[in-house]
Copies of this chain bind each other. A is one copy, B any other.
Amino acid sequence: MPKIVRFYEFGDADVLKLEEQSLSDPKEGEVRLKVEAIGLNRAEVMFRAGKYLELPEKFPSTLGYEASGTIDAIGSGVTGFQIGDRVSTIPAFSMRKYGVYGESAIVPAIAVAHYPENLSPQEATAIWMQYMTPYGALVEYGQVKAGDFVLITAASSSVGYSAIQIAKAAGAIAIATTRGSSKKQMLLDKGADYVIVTNEEDLVSRVMEITKGKGVNLIFDAVAGAFLETLANAAAPGATIFVYGILSPDGVTPFPLFPALQKGLKVQGYTLFEITSNPVKLEHAKQYIYNGLESGKLVPIIDRNFTLNQIVEAHRYMESNQQNGKIIVTVP
């Protein structure tokens, strides 16, 4: 029987349990994967802690958005896939209904895609969430273009690195922020034009120095909280601040009213589900990512590899904020 990760209560990483579960069959519109690798996301950490945008339907709950594997069963009404196809999952479903942490996973066929042959199963779990998230904000909505200044906060996450690559692919200038100096060199090595270490430097004056007083055109923010006001002060007139995460421990995120009125700023709440729930936008995003992977402008950055029975340790590692890039679990 396949081993599956489930949790029976909200809590820290310890609540994750690896348990055997009998193999079930995919229903209409679903496929089943024999999982080879799982990509970890902050979303799952928050879901497990009861702090995500949605709560489990019931306990015990499965979890997980991204896995790669081979299709070993196909439900009725599914076209375009065959038994044995190597695919990875796109976060185009709710964790209330599906979860991919385990040796076997059932997901909707619309949330599955073939991945480029030159990628390993591990790399294939590090392309959809991490590229689609900044793609939607920066390309689909923000229409990033050559010469734009793009500020990327918490830039050492897999999504952060992907945002740097996407900004650079458009010819924009990528300014990355990170709290401590330990990740600065890696961010520069992996493409950031500038890195601001927020524990040591004044973000607004550094941005104004870099942009010659203009401010940044697009901000891609995973932090929220009181930091939003600082970001607004670093923004150019007419800039958009995309808020896609809530890493800040602050309970409240004050809207930066005065800079917003004075500079006509937009603060846009954003999740990749706006892309994955729209078939046209999803198709554009997939093509963009395929093209970027093929041209070499998008290169997944893998941080560290765990095994499935180390899932608790892997979650703890994500919460330690030591990572640079994607955290992977190889199965079994």
Using CB atoms and an 8 Å cutoff, list the residues of chain A in contact with chain B.
Answer: 53, 224, 228, 238, 243-244, 246, 252-271, 274
Contacts and interface: CB of A to CB of B under 8 A. Distances in A.
A235 to B, nearest CB: 10
A259 B269 contact: yes
A243 B224 contact: no
B261 A257 contact: no
A269 B257 contact: yes
Given A253-B255, A255-B254, A269 B274 contact: no
Contacts of A254: 252-255
19 contacts: A243-B260, A244-B261, A246-B257, A252-B254, A253-B255, A253-B257, A254-B255, A255-B255, A259-B269, A260-B268, A260-B269, A261-B270, A261-B271, A264-B268, A264-B271, A264-B274, A265-B268, A265-B269, A267-B267
B268 A255 contact: no
Nearest to A251: B254
Contact of A269 (B53, B261, B269, B270): B261
Contacts of A246: 257, 261
Contacts of A270: 261, 264
- List the 4 closest pairs (A to B, CB-CB), nearest first: A260-B269, A255-B255, A261-B269, A253-B255
Nearest to A238: B274
Contact of A228 (B243, B255, B256, B266): B255
Contact of A268 (B259, B266, B269): B266
A246 B257 CA distance: 8
